[in-house]
């Protein structure tokens, strides 16, 4: 690694990378090799900033596990060369990408900061400039020779979050993300204030190891009043289905109808994993607190505690890709691997 602080910026696509063509008024992707020309203030850091841009910028709606694998490989290949990494990404699926990378990058001990913007970086009122500048500063922040935030994070609108605790909740405002079940890792004002007690630090300095096998044979079943048996049956009978994220009411409650319980039980007996998470924006599943969740526990539904939907999905993809024994898979689902569950 170079003595001079070096940061690798990886541009995948998204609103932040767009600038206006002064002649046509249309938006086009910016060349991030010229980032210091667009933001001359970056030069005052004195950092070595290098960039990798995807050949074709990807709208975040088109993000797929193949992109997560590509990002993990880029970080792995460059892990020893840089002090930190900044990933520029569209906001719509940023929480999915951050969650996936938190599992795929085992033994990560450097900052990986995802950020983006609600307005293109080339517009006058953009939030992209502050998000990018602060993300670079956080990725470069070291204390006593060690990175201050050696995690996969999302930085947005003055707040640094653990990536696998986030969800996008606002499409109109600059504060697009929230982390309802875990405190911020840092807040940026006049100074960036780090909350060290909330940051995860590795107990041992091991070599980074990436996991690139992801299994996407999963689905989300969100229950609602009036959901009918034909719909549930069609979902649970999907070909090659291996796991279901069951979005339940409140603290993990579901309809007590015999047909519903029987459908879930039959799926579990076929070997399908059913993971219970709450539809609520905040809070956690407490199976057994009410009778309606007690029945789910009795038939083998797994408690997802306070995982977000984004994390539940990507964690299942990751664990299914490891080809674990069913007992191991269930154990890991209920264990905090990358700080995604409040234990």
The residues annotated as belonging to the active site are 15
Q: Is the dihedral of CA 88, 92, 93, 99 positive or negative?
A: positive
Cβ neighbours of 223 (radius 10 Å): 16
Tokens of 236: 């649970």
Tokens of 157: 């609108």
Q: Which of 246, 237, 254 is nearest to 295 (CA)?
A: 254
Helix extents (H) in 151-242: 229-236
Q: Write the CB contacts of 210 (distance below 8 Å, at least 6 apart in sequence).
A: 72, 73, 75, 76, 104, 105, 106
- Dmax over CA atoms of the chain, in Å, equals 66
Helix axes 65-78, 94-104, angle to 10 degrees: 50
Helix extents (H) in 105-244: 128-139, 229-236
Helix axes 229-236, 258-269, angle to 10 degrees: 10
Which 3 state secondary structure label does DSSP give 153? strand
Tokens of 62: 């088109």
The answer to whether the beta carbons of residues 104 and 73 sit under 8 Å apart is: no
Cβ neighbours of 325 (radius 10 Å): 8
Which 3 state secondary structure label does DSSP give 139? helix
Nearest 5°: the CA angle 219, 221, 223 is 175
**What would the DSSP string read from start to end of 214-233?**
----EEEEE--TT--HHHHH
């Amino acid at each position: 690694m170079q003595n001079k602080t070096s940061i690798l910026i990886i541009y995948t696509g998204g609103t932040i990378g767009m600038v206006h063509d002064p002649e046509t008024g249309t938006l086009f992707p910016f060349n991030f090799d010229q980032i210091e020309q667009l933001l001359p203030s970056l030069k005052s850091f004195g950092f070595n900033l290098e960039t990798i841009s995807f050949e074709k910028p990807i709208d975040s709606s088109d993000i797929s596990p193949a992109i997560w694998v590509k990002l993990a490989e880029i970080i792995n290949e460059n892990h020893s060369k840089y002090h930190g990494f900044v990933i520029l990404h569209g906001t719509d699926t940023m929480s999915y990408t951050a969650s996936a990378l938190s599992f795929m990058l085992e033994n990560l001990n450097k900052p990986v900061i995802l950020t983006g913007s609600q307005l293109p970086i080339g517009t006058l009122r953009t939030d992209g400039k502050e998000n990018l500048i602060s993300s670079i500063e956080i990725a470069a922040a070291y204390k006593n020779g060690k990175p201050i935030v050696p995690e996969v994070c999302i930085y947005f609108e003055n707040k640094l979050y653990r990536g696998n605790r986030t969800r996008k909740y606002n499409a109109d405002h600059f504060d697009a993300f929230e982390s309802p079940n875990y405190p911020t890792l840092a807040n940026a004002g006049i100074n960036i204030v780090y909350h060290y007690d909330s940051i995860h630090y590795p107990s041992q300095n091991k070599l980074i190891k990436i996991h690139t096998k992801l299994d996407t044979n999963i689905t989300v079943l969100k229950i609602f009043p009036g959901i009918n048996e034909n719909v549930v049956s069609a979902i649970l009978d999907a070909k090659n289905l291996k796991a279901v994220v069951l979005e339940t009411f409140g603290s993990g409650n579901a309809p007590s109808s015999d047909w519903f319980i029987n459908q879930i039980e039959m799926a579990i007996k076929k070997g399908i994993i059913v993971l219970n998470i709450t539809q609520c924006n905040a809070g956690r599943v407490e199976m057994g607190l009410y009778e309606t969740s007690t029945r789910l526990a009795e038939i083998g539904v797994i408690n997802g505690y306070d995982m977000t939907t984004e994390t539940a999905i990507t964690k299942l993809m990751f664990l299914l890709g490891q080809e674990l024994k069913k007992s191991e898979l269930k154990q890991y689902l209920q264990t905090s691997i990358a700080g995604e569950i409040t234990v």
